[in-house]
Structure 1
Amino acid sequence: MTVELAQESIVDDRPVIFLDIDNTLYSASSQISQAMGKRIHAYFVSLGLEEERASELHHKYYTEYGLALRGLVRHHEIDPLDFDKKCDGSLPLEDMIKPDPILRKLLQDIDRSKARVWGLTNAYKSHASRVLSILGVDDLIEGVIYCDYSDPNFSCKPEPDFYHSAMRKAGITDPKKCYFIDDSRNNVAAAQRLGWGRCVHFCEQGLETVEGGKPKRIGADGKEALQDAVVIGRLVELRTVWSELFVKDS
């Protein structure tokens, strides 16, 4: 798996499947987002903020930038790599997720003559690599587009620059050949606005996740802003939604 992308890839005419990683390749029932929310809140408090103010800014930055870390870097001049070490890097992922043979079979059955498979995550490369390795699918991912925390001006979903960069690095020029699945409505809507062709919103109805530090029932606020996107609750449904990309009779 290529997670360090030093240069642009050679243009390849095959479509690219961009897979979000967290809360998409594994279920929100793992409680990883809750554990992460607590660590991020603690990081805000460590900056000298009162509990209420920390919660307020956590939600504000997540809402405005798609990632609380973006607000921390812009307004508090923190070291994003220090943040990653204390938040993502401290998660006991091995105790929270396990190898997933069903996910592995799903990715194995994608016809590689028809599509390539990449990760597209707002996490840093080390976290993405850990998750994919634990799930047992790292060898099935051609490359990972991640937030480069070593760059003080890094971009993230749902910022257009992040999607444009993903296309360049994956070596694809036609947005209609971009297949995309994410658990975030905002991230899927942003891809749609850029003309990405086959967008899917992964929405585990009834489960609880955390957004901006606040608990949220997944799917509780409907399907607004996703009129042209398919909504699924199980990844195996991709076999039907993107049937043209899978090996027949697999």
Structure 2
Amino acid sequence: MAGYVDLSASLSTRTPKIDGPDTRAVVWLDIDNTLYPKSSKIHLLMQQKIHAYFLSLGLSEEKASVLHKKYYSEYGLAIRGLVKHHEIDALDYDRVCDASLPLEEILSYNPELRKLLQDIDPSKARILGLTNAYKTHGLRVLNIIGVSDLIEALVYCDYGRPDNDFGCKPEAGFFNEATAFAFPSHPPDTPLPTQYFVDDSLLNITASLDLGFKSVHFKEKGEWDTDHGRVNNLPVKGKEGLVVTTVDDLEALREVWSEIFFDGSERK
């Protein structure tokens, strides 16, 4: 199951008065390798720390590498395989791996990203985060890059669950839980407002398309494939006939999702 953090009390954007159910669209933002560039090499540091964690369990270099790839492929996250097969403490894993990353030394305030999100019209759409990390990491990144006050809520992988039953993207159940968090009072059997989604993983984008999201695959020029060759890099259709759009610059969202930006908001 997913976790949820309500950040609405800290919003700096003007929230329109809503009478009845909130029918505004939702913009879901992936965080890692989407809101900051892969060139930061945070993913490489993360991989090193995860590999070291496997080794700390007494595994050989070869076995650690094999299981790391196997668990990531089968469960979406290495930690889920570790919890299932090695009975580790998920919060200890987070402390040793994600929480120990020197993010403050690598990332910094991003005025261009902030302006992009500020130009989304709050009368048309709300902005939420959707991450496969634990909440501590997700909130830390949002704070460092300077956009936490523009995000209404964060849906995350809840490593803190006593039963260790936490989902992640690209599982349909994880997306469905996120939708339920975003629209808690939506009348049943009525169409949901549009859900926009941007992520650097094509697997996650494909899964969201199948659920009717209006999704954009973010793939920087010259950068490695997030899914490590597990999918073919071909156009993918969702169940509703939506076709994934790929961009190499988040500024392109001003054009792709022009209907939710303020009038006159153009790509720089």
TM-score (norm 1): 0.89
Letter in 2 for 1:178: Q
CA contact (8 A) 2:200 2:226 kept: no
Query: Residues 209 and 29 of structure 1: is their aligned pair in 2 closer, same or farther, counting only changes over 3 Å?
Result: farther
Q: Please report how far the alpha carbon of residue 221 of structure 1 lies from its aligned counterpart in structure 2 after TM superposition.
A: 5.5
Q: 2:216 is matched with which residue?
A: 200
- Report the Cα distance in structure 2 between the residues aligned to 1:72 and 1:107, rounded to whole angstroms: 36
Q: 1:222 is matched with which residue?
A: 233
5+ residue gaps, structure 1, are none
5+ residue gaps, structure 2, are 7-19
Equivalent of 1:180, from 172, 176, 197? 197
CA contact (8 A) 1:33 1:210 kept: no
* Structure 1 counterpart SS, 2:157: coil
Matched, 1:36 2:46: yes
RMSD: 2.1
Write the deviation string for residues 19-73 of structure 1: whole angstroms up to 9, x where unpaired: 0000000110000000000000000111111001101110111111111111111
- Report the Cα distance in structure 2 between the residues aligned to 1:199 and 1:175, rounded to whole angstroms: 15
**Structure index of larger Rg:** 2
Q: Please report how far the alpha carbon of residue 3 of structure 1 lies from its aligned counterpart in structure 2 after TM superposition.
A: 5.6
Q: Please report how far the alpha carbon of residue 225 of structure 1 lies from its aligned counterpart in structure 2 after TM superposition.
A: 3.4
Q: Please report how far the alpha carbon of residue 95 of structure 1 lies from its aligned counterpart in structure 2 after TM superposition.
A: 1.1
CA contact (8 A) 1:18 1:120 kept: yes
Equivalent of 2:104, from 88, 94, 97? 94
The farther-off stretch of 165-174 and 137-146 is 165-174
Q: Please report how far the alpha carbon of residue 4 of structure 1 lies from its aligned counterpart in structure 2 after TM superposition.
A: 2.5
CA contact (8 A) 2:4 2:181 kept: no
CA contact (8 A) 1:31 1:209 kept: no
- Report the Cα distance in structure 1 between the residues aligned to 2:119 and 2:222, rounded to whole angstroms: 29
Letter in 2 for 1:191: S
* Percentage of identical aligned residues: 52
Equivalent of 1:80, from 66, 74, 90? 90
* Structure 2 counterpart SS, 1:58: helix
CA contact (8 A) 1:81 1:150 kept: yes
TM-score (norm 2): 0.84
- Report the Cα distance in structure 2 between the residues aligned to 1:210 and 1:184, rounded to whole angstroms: 6
Q: 1:162 is matched with which residue?
A: 174
Query: Residues 79 and 114 of structure 1: is their aligned pair in 2 closer, same or farther, counting only changes over 3 Å?
Result: same
